[in-house]
Chain A
Amino acid sequence: MNGQQTTEFRWHGRGGQGAVTSAEMIALAAIEEGKFAQAFPSFGPERRGAPVLAFNRVHDSIPIKIRSGVTNPDVVVVLDPGLLTIIDVMAGLKENGVLVINSPKSLSELKKDYSGPWNLAVVDATKIARKELGVPIVNTTMLGAVVKAVGIIKLESLNGPIKEHFGARAPSNITAAREAYEQTQIAPPVKTMPKRVEVLEVLPSWQEILPGCVVTSPGSAKQYRTGDWRSKYTDFDYSRCIKCGLCYIFCPEGCIEQRPDGYFESNKYYCKGCGICATECPKEVISMIEEAS
Chain B
Amino acid sequence: MNTTVTVTKRLVNSFEQLAPGHRACLGCGEALAVRLVGKALGQNVIIVSATGCMEIISSQYPFTSWEVPWIHTLFENASAVASGIEAGIRALSRKGEFNEKTKVVAMGGDGATSDIGLQALSGALERRHNFIYICYDNEAYMNTGVQRSSATPYGASTTTSPASKITIGQTTWKKNMPAIVAAHDVPYVATACASYPFDLMSKVQKAMNVDGPSYIHILSVCPTGWRSSTESVIGLGRLAVRTGIFPLYEIEDGRYKLNMQMDKLHPVEEYLKQQGRFRHLSPEVIASIQTRVNADYAKLKEKATRS
Contact = CB atoms under 8 A, between A and B. Distances in A.
A206 B21 CA distance: 23
Contacts of A252: 24, 26-29, 31-32, 35, 233
B65 interface: yes
A191 to B, nearest CB: 40
Given A219-B65, A220-B64, A254 B16 contact: yes
A253 B22 contact: yes
Contacts of B35: 251-252, 254
Contacts of B21: 221-226, 270
A220 B59 CA distance: 10
Contacts of B234: 250, 276, 279-280
B224 A48 contact: yes
A151 B7 CA distance: 58
Provide the main secondary structure of the chain B interface: loop
Contacts of B27: 252, 272, 274-276
A223 B60 CA distance: 12
Interface stretch (A58-66, A72-80, A167-175, A240-248): A240-248
Contacts of A226: 20-23
Interface string B12-45: 1000101111111111110110011000000000
A245 B23 contact: no
Nearest to A220: B63
A251 B32 contact: yes
A50 interface: yes
B183 to A, nearest CB: 33
Contacts of A217: 63-64
A267 interface: yes
A244 B7 contact: yes
Given A47-B25, A249-B7, A274-B231, A254 B19 contact: yes
Contact of B6 (A209, A245, A250): A245
Contacts of A280: 234
Nearest to A253: B20
Contacts of A225: 21
B164 interface: no
Interface string B47-78: 00000000011111111111110000000000
A45 interface: yes
Contacts of A16: 25, 224
Interface centre among B24, B65, B68 (most CB of A within 10 A): B24
Interface residues of B, number: 46
Interface in A227-282: 229-230, 243-246, 248-255, 258, 267, 269-270, 272-276, 278-280
A215 B8 contact: no
B23 A224 contact: yes
A229 B68 contact: no
B88 interface: no
Given A48-B26, A226-B20, A245-B6, A219 B61 contact: no
Interface centre among B12, B61, B231 (most CB of A within 10 A): B231
A250 B65 contact: no
Contact of B56 (A45, A267, A276): A45
Contacts of A267: 20
A199 interface: no
A31 B5 CA distance: 59
B20 A255 contact: yes
A108 B219 CA distance: 51
Interface centre among B23, B29, B32 (most CB of A within 10 A): B23
Interface string A186-222: 0000000000000000011000010001010111111
A252 B22 CA distance: 10
Contacts of A254: 16, 18-20, 35
B235 interface: yes
A104 interface: no
24 contacts: A45-B57, A48-B224, A215-B59, A218-B19, A219-B67, A220-B64, A221-B63, A221-B64, A222-B19, A222-B65, A225-B21, A226-B22, A226-B23, A229-B26, A245-B7, A248-B5, A248-B12, A249-B7, A250-B197, A252-B26, A252-B27, A254-B18, A274-B233, A275-B231
Interface of B: 5-8, 12, 16, 18-29, 31-32, 35-36, 56-68, 194, 197, 223-224, 229-235
Given A47-B57, A48-B224, 15 more contacts: A45-B56, A47-B23, A215-B64, A218-B64, A219-B67, A221-B21, A221-B23, A221-B59, A244-B8, A245-B7, A245-B12, A253-B31, A274-B26, A276-B234, A288-B231
Interface of A: 15-16, 45-50, 203-204, 209, 213, 215, 217-226, 229-230, 243-246, 248-255, 258, 267, 269-270, 272-276, 278-280, 288
